[in-house]
Structure 1
């Protein structure tokens, strides 16, 4: 992605539901540059993250305070940078703050794609003293792959090099679950290893590796496309679904597998726990075919790279990826022509850890729509009709993608909280929106609730019950609230 997040959206922000209104919580000119996240530490008191500066700023009553509470030296090339924050479940009584970021190898902020350590994607814990954040030495730092030198040919595999070094598919969201554990999502980081359901890696002949750093076994440099579940001190819970399997494997690979809650995921920016059902919901971006919304269960295998979308659409997945939009899956080490023709064959090729279960997505879009930040509405603050609904933002603005770029989606769940309620549109009974091309809105009409918000990597419900939407392209934090009677009459 060249020069990401460079400009504001090209259409005005608008709510499509007359019962809701959008205002500006922190507007243009307030001093925000590439805001990427928000976390409320009190009433009208929030941390605001900036992707490229590595700074966490404090906003009190919507006013950015002059001194950042934290300033990290980040590499912000492509989708890297300061990515997300999570507060300890007992915050502020337990004043611990968890930060997901990409480390610069120079000691200063940089956007040079190569200036990053191999394991430069990190999760660290910080202590809040009321004015600043200080790194906690008693936390086991999580270090994940950042360097993507897939433009360097792998020995004995000519013709597999990519055009240039990449810095994308880092994922980024973190959430504490109702069990008090920290859940961290990392995208596939461009890997083509076992966690991407390639047991022998992307190559058909020896050496059976992933890249110049090894693989396909998921050592620290190849543990990707997973949701990890950690204790609040960064250690690994023995209750994780693959803890025993990892112990049997042993070594660095086994230690990494023990952290895994689910795998076989591509990339995504949205992750949220349902306050009613307790389940973890995760959005996944398509390459070209089948954006996904998943209800993640322990030990889930999401199917990537062998499959995206429901099993019943396997033929469409292969058809789109092999004939449209350049006929590539971004990494040339595994071309889409090698995808299976049938779902049963695709499943037989997956890498199944002991106890793993393949699970179809709960909802999909036939072509990529770019889902992003995700949040549940926990109560009736916006009105009883919105309680328990799931909101999803966009990872592309209206310009240049058009139709659904910069949009907000609102989805309702079924009464058992296990699936998406599609009863409002009979076309969605199969749990797939059959749009006509990328970012096309066909069959999403009943789901769309806002437009013009730009790229929205973070959506959070504040202590006041309103919904706060961070737009990295607009440089704004929007506030969605119940419309006044005057506005509803217009």
Structure 2
């Protein structure tokens, strides 16, 4: 019996994805807690449209990320305990994809992000970011790739191309979003493993955004590739530093700039426009406080000389995660928006942009009471979200008009 190809561009496939339809309340929640430094919180927009949330699949165990195949609604989905799942024709394959690496599935660790090679059609490379255990029981973020079989059942020849050093995490703050820049480079976000001072250390890979080649090499124009900086031996892969736990990252399609969102402590979740060599402040500069309510011990304030201010921040943390720019014409009301998942607040946050400036903030899907872990734009122009729970779901989000 010949198996049908799992990559399809047919319109019929998108229709077969339907499972259940929920129409939520019109327009937005009139809730906005975010702002740019030195400005008042932005207003909520008035779109006049109702939101449709269509359930595609359920039964995912703490799904973390999704990557769509080129031109298709078929996809790969990671589950944090360590499984890579194939979504084909709107259904999950019975067995996980074989050949994935062993992961440190403890606390926030496990199998995290997934990204397809920009040349996937020819090289079939699937990139994974995951928590990897060290010899002392601590863990760090690792990145590798394998070749996906034609039937989608297996990754072969998995190769690790990057390891966070030293390994310091007991189960917290791995970061781990992957973004290709369209020029042969791969960005990855690395959490500071809940070891605050390391985010400022250029001889450690905690609290950093890195940029590497697709095979793990170091681009010659990385900001610290030429030698030491500030009297320290900077690791050549570092692109920026002073990050806490960046769990969302996306390339701005209108100017090619990398945007990263990251968890603050109690307050201080923020979005950064990431530029080479910049220090984004953690833990010296923060809009948040410790979970106890006391100040972060190392913090010198929200504005610290030598550090970059966030583009946008929340004084009350939504616990932000996945992020995507919306650049489709399918829903004109969403043009030039950024969608961000919120875990603690159980929301999909839409930020409307005017250039690089956020002009309104809309909170969606709160009626579902689901933790939103990942957000992606599909090739069909819909927004897809993964909900983080033992019975996680993939939802397709659109507007009624």
Normalising by the smaller structure, the TM-score range is 0.7 to 0.9
Quick check: 1:466 aligned with 2:382?
A: yes
Can you list the C-alpha shifts for 1:433-454, whole angstroms capped at 9, x where unaligned?
xxxxxxxxxxxxx421331352
> For residue 480 of structure 1, what is the aligned residue in structure 2?
397
Distance in 1 separating the partners of 2:300 and 2:23: 42
The count of corresponding residues between Structure 1 and Structure 2 is: 353
Counterpart residue number, 2:199: 196
Alpha-carbon separation, structure 1, partners of 2:229 and 2:199? 21
Match of 1:413 in 2: 353
Matched, 1:287 2:307: no
Question: What residue is the counterpart of 1:21 in the other structure?
Answer: 52
The answer to whether structure 1 residue 231 and structure 2 residue 213 are counterparts is yes
1:102 is aligned to 131
Q: Which residue of 1 aligns with 2:240?
A: 262
How far is 1:182 from its partner? 0.4
Counterpart of 2:31 in structure 1 is none
Mapping of 1:66-81 within 5 angstroms?
66-70=94-98, 71-81=100-110
Residue 277 of structure 2 corresponds to: 299
- The answer to whether the Cα contact below 8 Å between 1:175 and 1:184 also exists between their aligned partners in 2 is yes
Q: 1:406 to 1:341 in 2, by over 3 A?
A: closer
> Distance in 2 between the 1:248 and 1:328 partners?
27
Q: Paired residue for 2:364, among 437, 449, 460?
A: 449
Assess, with a 3 A threshold, how the Cα gap between structure 1 residues 359 and 393 changes in structure 2: closer, same or farther.
same
Secondary structure in structure 1 of the residue aligned to 2:365: strand
Match in the other structure for 1:124: 144
Q: Does 1:363 align with 2:363?
A: no
Change (3 A) 1:38 1:277: same
Secondary structure at the aligned position of 2:226 is classed as helix
Indicate the SS of the match to 1:179.
coil
User: 2:306 aligned with 1:389, yes or no?
Assistant: no
Instruction: Note if contact 2:142-2:164 (Cα within 8 Å) is conserved in structure 1.
Output: yes
Give the superposition deviation at 1:361: 0.7
The two structures have a TM-score, normalised by structure 2, of 0.80
Rg comparison, structure with higher value:
1
C-alpha displacement at 1:171, in angstroms? 0.7
Gap runs ≥5 in structure 1 = 1-11, 106-114, 149-165, 198-216, 310-316, 330-335, 348-356, 397-404, 425-445, 486-490
Determine the structure 1 residue equivalent to 2:254.
276
Task: Give the equivalent residue in structure 1 for 2:120.
Answer: 91
How far residue 230 of structure 1 moved from its aligned partner, in angstroms, is 0.5
1:25 CA displacement: 1.1
Q: Give the secondary-structure state (helix, strand or coil) at the position aligned to 1:244.
A: coil
Residue 38 (structure 1) shift? 0.8
Superposed, 1:324-343 pairs within 5 Å as 325-327=292-294, 329=296, 336=297, 338-340=298-300, 343=303
| Partner Cα separation in structure 1 for residue 73 and residue 270 of structure 2 | 34
Distance 1:413 1:74 in 2: 38
Relative to its length, the structure with more helix (as a share) is 1
CA contact (8 A) 1:16 1:448 kept: no
Structure 2 Cα separation of the partners of residues 124 and 365 of structure 1:
33
1:365 CA displacement? 1.2
C-alpha distance 32-366 of structure 1, shift in aligned 2 (>3 A): closer
Give the whole-Å Cα distance in 2 for the aligned partners of 1:463 and 1:56. 21
Measured in 2, the distance between the counterparts of 1:129 and 1:247 equals: 43
Which residue number corresponds to residue 206 of structure 1? none
Tell me if structure 2 keeps the 8 A contact 1:14–1:22. Answer: yes
Q: Is the 8 A contact 1:15 1:22 kept in 2?
A: no
1:117 positional shift: 4.9
Please give the alpha-carbon distance, in whole angstroms, between the structure 2 residues aligned to 1:342 and 1:447: 25
Give the deviation of 1:389 after TM superposition.
0.8
CA distance in 2, matches of 1:278, 1:341: 31
TM-score normalized by the length of structure 1: 0.66
CA distance in 1, matches of 2:309, 2:246: 16
